[in-house]
Structure 1
Amino acid sequence: MSLFPIIQPQAAPEIDVSLPMYRETAWDYQKNEPIWENGAPVIVEGKAAVLVWAWNALHTPRYRYEIYSWDFGNEVDNLTGQSFSDDLKRSEAARFTRECLLINPYITDIKDLAISFAGDVLTISGTIVTVYGEVELNV
Protein backbone atom coordinates (compact mmCIF):
# COMPACT_ATOMS: atom_id res chain seq x y z
CA MET A 1 0.00 0.00 0.00
CA SER A 2 1.35 3.40 -0.98
CA LEU A 3 0.99 6.61 0.92
CA PHE A 4 0.39 8.44 -2.37
CA PRO A 5 -1.81 6.26 -4.57
CA ILE A 6 -1.76 7.03 -8.25
CA ILE A 7 -4.92 8.81 -9.24
CA GLN A 8 -5.98 8.87 -12.85
CA PRO A 9 -8.06 12.01 -13.27
CA GLN A 10 -10.64 12.05 -15.98
CA ALA A 11 -10.43 14.73 -18.61
CA ALA A 12 -12.91 17.52 -18.10
CA PRO A 13 -15.67 17.58 -20.67
CA GLU A 14 -15.13 20.16 -23.37
CA ILE A 15 -17.23 23.25 -22.92
CA ASP A 16 -18.55 25.17 -25.88
CA VAL A 17 -17.08 28.63 -25.38
CA SER A 18 -18.56 30.18 -28.50
CA LEU A 19 -20.60 33.26 -27.84
CA PRO A 20 -24.06 33.78 -29.28
CA MET A 21 -24.54 36.56 -31.81
CA TYR A 22 -24.52 39.85 -29.89
CA ARG A 23 -27.64 41.96 -30.40
CA GLU A 24 -28.39 45.45 -29.15
CA THR A 25 -30.78 48.31 -29.84
CA ALA A 26 -29.45 50.61 -32.57
CA TRP A 27 -28.21 53.94 -31.24
CA ASP A 28 -28.28 57.50 -32.57
CA TYR A 29 -24.90 58.75 -31.31
CA GLN A 30 -25.66 62.41 -32.16
CA LYS A 31 -28.89 62.49 -30.12
CA ASN A 32 -27.66 59.87 -27.60
CA GLU A 33 -30.89 57.87 -27.79
CA PRO A 34 -32.13 54.56 -29.20
CA ILE A 35 -33.44 54.38 -32.75
CA TRP A 36 -37.08 53.42 -33.16
CA GLU A 37 -38.94 52.41 -36.31
CA ASN A 38 -42.70 51.79 -36.49
CA GLY A 39 -42.97 51.81 -32.69
CA ALA A 40 -40.26 49.20 -32.12
CA PRO A 41 -36.54 49.50 -31.46
CA VAL A 42 -34.22 48.79 -34.38
CA ILE A 43 -31.89 45.89 -33.56
CA VAL A 44 -28.27 45.67 -34.72
CA GLU A 45 -25.93 42.68 -34.48
CA GLY A 46 -22.23 41.91 -34.37
CA LYS A 47 -19.65 44.64 -34.07
CA ALA A 48 -22.27 47.39 -34.46
CA ALA A 49 -24.04 46.00 -31.39
CA VAL A 50 -20.79 45.81 -29.42
CA LEU A 51 -20.13 49.46 -30.31
CA VAL A 52 -23.55 50.43 -28.91
CA TRP A 53 -22.72 48.57 -25.69
CA ALA A 54 -19.33 50.32 -25.46
CA TRP A 55 -20.88 53.74 -26.09
CA ASN A 56 -23.43 53.22 -23.32
CA ALA A 57 -20.88 51.75 -20.90
CA LEU A 58 -18.58 54.75 -21.38
CA HIS A 59 -21.47 57.16 -20.82
CA THR A 60 -22.64 55.46 -17.60
CA PRO A 61 -20.91 56.17 -14.29
CA ARG A 62 -20.07 52.93 -12.51
CA TYR A 63 -21.81 52.20 -9.16
CA ARG A 64 -24.27 55.11 -9.53
CA TYR A 65 -27.41 53.34 -10.79
CA GLU A 66 -28.88 50.26 -9.13
CA ILE A 67 -30.27 48.99 -12.43
CA TYR A 68 -26.74 48.16 -13.67
CA SER A 69 -24.35 45.58 -12.24
CA TRP A 70 -21.18 46.89 -10.64
CA ASP A 71 -19.27 45.60 -13.68
CA PHE A 72 -21.03 48.05 -16.03
CA GLY A 73 -19.93 51.64 -16.54
CA ASN A 74 -16.78 53.67 -16.06
CA GLU A 75 -15.05 55.49 -13.23
CA VAL A 76 -13.76 58.55 -15.09
CA ASP A 77 -15.87 60.75 -12.79
CA ASN A 78 -13.30 59.99 -10.08
CA LEU A 79 -10.90 62.35 -11.89
CA THR A 80 -13.23 65.34 -11.50
CA GLY A 81 -11.91 67.91 -9.08
CA GLN A 82 -8.57 66.18 -8.58
CA SER A 83 -5.36 68.18 -8.77
CA PHE A 84 -3.58 65.55 -10.88
CA SER A 85 -1.24 66.49 -13.71
CA ASP A 86 -2.66 66.30 -17.23
CA ASP A 87 -0.49 63.27 -18.01
CA LEU A 88 -1.76 61.43 -14.95
CA LYS A 89 -5.37 62.28 -15.80
CA ARG A 90 -4.93 60.94 -19.34
CA SER A 91 -3.24 57.81 -18.02
CA GLU A 92 -5.99 57.16 -15.46
CA ALA A 93 -8.73 57.88 -18.02
CA ALA A 94 -7.12 55.35 -20.37
CA ARG A 95 -6.97 52.77 -17.56
CA PHE A 96 -10.62 53.42 -16.61
CA THR A 97 -11.62 53.09 -20.29
CA ARG A 98 -9.82 49.77 -20.72
CA GLU A 99 -11.31 48.39 -17.49
CA CYS A 100 -14.77 49.51 -18.60
CA LEU A 101 -14.61 47.95 -22.06
CA LEU A 102 -12.61 44.77 -21.50
CA ILE A 103 -15.23 43.40 -19.09
CA ASN A 104 -17.29 42.55 -22.17
CA PRO A 105 -16.41 39.06 -23.49
CA TYR A 106 -17.08 40.23 -27.05
CA ILE A 107 -14.25 42.79 -26.79
CA THR A 108 -10.77 41.29 -27.02
CA ASP A 109 -8.57 44.40 -27.19
CA ILE A 110 -8.47 48.17 -27.51
CA LYS A 111 -5.96 49.69 -29.92
CA ASP A 112 -4.77 53.22 -30.61
CA LEU A 113 -6.57 54.61 -27.56
CA ALA A 114 -6.39 58.42 -27.50
CA ILE A 115 -7.58 60.44 -24.52
CA SER A 116 -7.85 64.22 -24.50
CA PHE A 117 -9.26 66.83 -22.14
CA ALA A 118 -10.56 70.20 -23.31
CA GLY A 119 -11.73 72.06 -20.25
CA ASP A 120 -14.28 69.78 -18.63
CA VAL A 121 -14.87 67.64 -21.76
CA LEU A 122 -13.19 64.26 -22.08
CA THR A 123 -12.79 62.79 -25.57
CA ILE A 124 -11.98 59.11 -26.10
CA SER A 125 -11.14 57.57 -29.46
CA GLY A 126 -9.58 54.35 -30.62
CA THR A 127 -10.25 50.99 -32.17
CA ILE A 128 -12.19 48.28 -30.37
CA VAL A 129 -11.19 44.77 -31.40
CA THR A 130 -14.25 42.52 -31.13
CA VAL A 131 -14.81 38.87 -31.90
CA TYR A 132 -16.50 40.17 -35.09
CA GLY A 133 -13.67 42.47 -36.20
CA GLU A 134 -12.55 46.01 -35.48
CA VAL A 135 -14.79 49.03 -34.97
CA GLU A 136 -13.86 52.69 -34.45
CA LEU A 137 -14.85 54.35 -31.19
CA ASN A 138 -15.31 58.11 -30.80
CA VAL A 139 -16.87 59.26 -27.53
Structure 2
Amino acid sequence: MAIFPEHMHQLNPVLSKASAIDYGREWAYDFDQNKFILQNGTPLIVTGLEALKIYIIKTLKTARYRYLIHSWEYGCEIEDVLGKTLHKDVLESVIKNMITEALIYDERIYAVTDFIIINAGDRVNVSFVVKTNLGEELEVNTNV
Protein backbone atom coordinates (compact mmCIF):
# COMPACT_ATOMS: atom_id res chain seq x y z
CA MET A 1 0.00 0.00 0.00
CA ALA A 2 1.47 3.34 -1.08
CA ILE A 3 1.78 6.34 1.19
CA PHE A 4 1.07 8.84 -1.60
CA PRO A 5 -2.01 8.95 -3.83
CA GLU A 6 -1.45 7.07 -7.06
CA HIS A 7 -3.81 9.21 -9.09
CA MET A 8 -2.80 12.82 -8.44
CA HIS A 9 -4.90 14.04 -11.38
CA GLN A 10 -8.02 13.17 -9.40
CA LEU A 11 -7.21 15.69 -6.66
CA ASN A 12 -8.89 19.05 -7.18
CA PRO A 13 -7.96 22.05 -4.99
CA VAL A 14 -11.17 23.91 -5.85
CA LEU A 15 -14.07 22.78 -3.69
CA SER A 16 -17.50 22.21 -5.12
CA LYS A 17 -20.32 24.70 -4.52
CA ALA A 18 -21.91 22.12 -2.21
CA SER A 19 -18.94 22.38 0.14
CA ALA A 20 -19.44 23.37 3.76
CA ILE A 21 -17.23 26.43 3.20
CA ASP A 22 -19.13 29.64 2.57
CA TYR A 23 -18.17 33.29 2.79
CA GLY A 24 -19.74 33.93 6.17
CA ARG A 25 -21.12 37.22 7.45
CA GLU A 26 -19.54 40.55 8.35
CA TRP A 27 -20.74 43.88 9.64
CA ALA A 28 -20.91 46.29 6.70
CA TYR A 29 -18.12 48.83 7.06
CA ASP A 30 -17.30 52.13 5.37
CA PHE A 31 -13.49 52.25 5.32
CA ASP A 32 -13.43 55.82 3.94
CA GLN A 33 -15.38 57.18 6.92
CA ASN A 34 -13.99 54.52 9.29
CA LYS A 35 -17.37 53.50 10.70
CA PHE A 36 -19.99 50.77 10.50
CA ILE A 37 -22.82 51.19 8.01
CA LEU A 38 -26.18 51.50 9.72
CA GLN A 39 -29.62 50.79 8.34
CA ASN A 40 -32.42 52.31 10.43
CA GLY A 41 -29.95 52.67 13.31
CA THR A 42 -28.94 49.00 13.21
CA PRO A 43 -25.59 47.73 11.91
CA LEU A 44 -26.03 46.19 8.47
CA ILE A 45 -24.84 42.60 7.97
CA VAL A 46 -23.47 41.53 4.59
CA THR A 47 -22.82 38.06 3.22
CA GLY A 48 -21.14 36.50 0.20
CA LEU A 49 -18.16 38.05 -1.55
CA GLU A 50 -18.85 41.43 0.09
CA ALA A 51 -18.34 39.83 3.53
CA LEU A 52 -15.09 38.26 2.36
CA LYS A 53 -13.91 41.61 0.97
CA ILE A 54 -14.55 43.33 4.32
CA TYR A 55 -12.66 40.56 6.11
CA ILE A 56 -9.71 40.97 3.71
CA ILE A 57 -9.48 44.74 4.12
CA LYS A 58 -9.82 44.52 7.92
CA THR A 59 -7.07 41.89 7.98
CA LEU A 60 -4.71 44.10 5.97
CA LYS A 61 -5.44 47.16 8.12
CA THR A 62 -4.84 45.28 11.39
CA ALA A 63 -1.24 45.03 12.59
CA ARG A 64 -0.30 41.41 13.19
CA TYR A 65 0.80 40.46 16.74
CA ARG A 66 -0.28 43.84 18.18
CA TYR A 67 -3.70 42.98 19.63
CA LEU A 68 -4.15 40.04 22.01
CA ILE A 69 -7.77 39.59 20.93
CA HIS A 70 -6.62 38.33 17.50
CA SER A 71 -4.80 35.07 16.80
CA TRP A 72 -1.27 35.33 15.44
CA GLU A 73 -2.62 34.27 12.06
CA TYR A 74 -4.76 37.43 11.80
CA GLY A 75 -3.42 40.74 10.59
CA CYS A 76 -0.65 41.98 8.34
CA GLU A 77 2.91 43.22 8.85
CA ILE A 78 3.02 45.81 6.04
CA GLU A 79 3.31 48.59 8.61
CA ASP A 80 6.78 47.27 9.52
CA VAL A 81 8.25 48.04 6.07
CA LEU A 82 6.44 51.25 5.14
CA GLY A 83 8.66 54.31 5.14
CA LYS A 84 11.85 52.24 5.02
CA THR A 85 14.44 52.91 2.34
CA LEU A 86 14.11 49.78 0.26
CA HIS A 87 14.47 49.49 -3.49
CA LYS A 88 11.04 49.72 -5.19
CA ASP A 89 11.21 46.14 -6.51
CA VAL A 90 12.24 44.76 -3.12
CA LEU A 91 9.49 46.69 -1.34
CA GLU A 92 6.84 45.47 -3.80
CA SER A 93 8.01 41.88 -3.44
CA VAL A 94 7.94 42.08 0.36
CA ILE A 95 4.46 43.65 0.34
CA LYS A 96 3.12 40.95 -2.03
CA ASN A 97 4.48 38.25 0.27
CA MET A 98 3.05 39.91 3.38
CA ILE A 99 -0.41 40.28 1.85
CA THR A 100 -0.40 36.70 0.60
CA GLU A 101 0.75 35.38 3.99
CA ALA A 102 -1.90 37.44 5.79
CA LEU A 103 -4.75 36.10 3.65
CA ILE A 104 -3.81 32.54 2.79
CA TYR A 105 -4.57 31.32 6.33
CA ASP A 106 -8.27 31.77 5.61
CA GLU A 107 -9.86 28.56 4.33
CA ARG A 108 -12.02 30.53 1.90
CA ILE A 109 -8.99 31.87 0.01
CA TYR A 110 -7.13 29.75 -2.54
CA ALA A 111 -4.72 32.30 -4.07
CA VAL A 112 -3.84 36.00 -4.21
CA THR A 113 -2.67 37.27 -7.61
CA ASP A 114 -2.38 40.21 -10.02
CA PHE A 115 -0.86 42.75 -7.64
CA ILE A 116 -0.61 46.46 -8.41
CA ILE A 117 1.24 48.37 -5.70
CA ILE A 118 1.59 52.15 -5.53
CA ASN A 119 3.88 53.37 -2.77
CA ALA A 120 2.92 56.69 -1.17
CA GLY A 121 5.58 56.98 1.55
CA ASP A 122 3.99 55.97 4.84
CA ARG A 123 0.98 54.46 3.03
CA VAL A 124 0.60 52.10 0.10
CA ASN A 125 -2.30 51.54 -2.30
CA VAL A 126 -2.69 47.88 -3.24
CA SER A 127 -4.92 46.20 -5.79
CA PHE A 128 -5.05 42.45 -6.23
CA VAL A 129 -7.31 39.55 -7.09
CA VAL A 130 -8.35 36.94 -4.53
CA LYS A 131 -9.29 33.51 -5.87
CA THR A 132 -11.64 31.66 -3.58
CA ASN A 133 -11.96 27.96 -2.85
CA LEU A 134 -15.43 28.14 -4.37
CA GLY A 135 -13.94 29.11 -7.74
CA GLU A 136 -14.86 32.80 -7.66
CA GLU A 137 -12.61 35.84 -7.99
CA LEU A 138 -12.76 39.04 -5.97
CA GLU A 139 -10.95 42.25 -6.87
CA VAL A 140 -9.68 44.22 -3.88
CA ASN A 141 -8.36 47.79 -3.87
CA THR A 142 -7.40 49.47 -0.59
CA ASN A 143 -4.91 51.72 1.16
CA VAL A 144 -2.78 50.21 3.88
Global fold match (TM > 0.5):
yes
Poorly superposed stretches of 4+, deviation over 6 Å = none
What CA deviation, in whole Å up to 9, does each residue of 1:21-50 have, x standing for no partner?
511111213213221222321111111100
Distance of aligned partners of 1:113 and 1:21 in 2 relative to their CA distance in 1, 3 Å threshold: closer
1:46 touches 1:132 (CA, 8 Å); kept in 2? no
Structure-1 separation of matches of 2:110 and 2:118: 23
Please report the TM-score for the alignment, with normalisation by the length of structure 2. 0.77
Distance of aligned partners of 1:24 and 1:76 in 2 relative to their CA distance in 1, 3 Å threshold: same
Q: Which runs of 5+ in 1 are unaligned?
A: 1-15
Structure-1 separation of matches of 2:106 and 2:34: 21
**Secondary structure of 2:33's partner?**
coil
Q: Which has the larger Rg?
A: 1
Structure-2 separation of matches of 1:64 and 1:119: 22
Structure 2 counterpart of 1:30: 32
Q: Which runs of 5+ in 2 are unaligned?
A: 1-17
Distance of aligned partners of 1:42 and 1:132 in 2 relative to their CA distance in 1, 3 Å threshold: farther
Q: Which one of the candidate residues 104, 115, 118 is aligned to 2:117? A: 115
Report sequence identity in percent: 32
Report deviation, 1:66: 1.2
Report deviation, 1:116: 1.9
**Secondary structure of 1:127's partner?**
strand
Letter in 2 for 1:87: D
Structure-2 separation of matches of 1:18 and 1:134: 18
Report deviation, 1:80: 3.5
Deviates more, 1:110-119 or 1:97-106: 110-119
Count residues with an aligned counterpart.
124
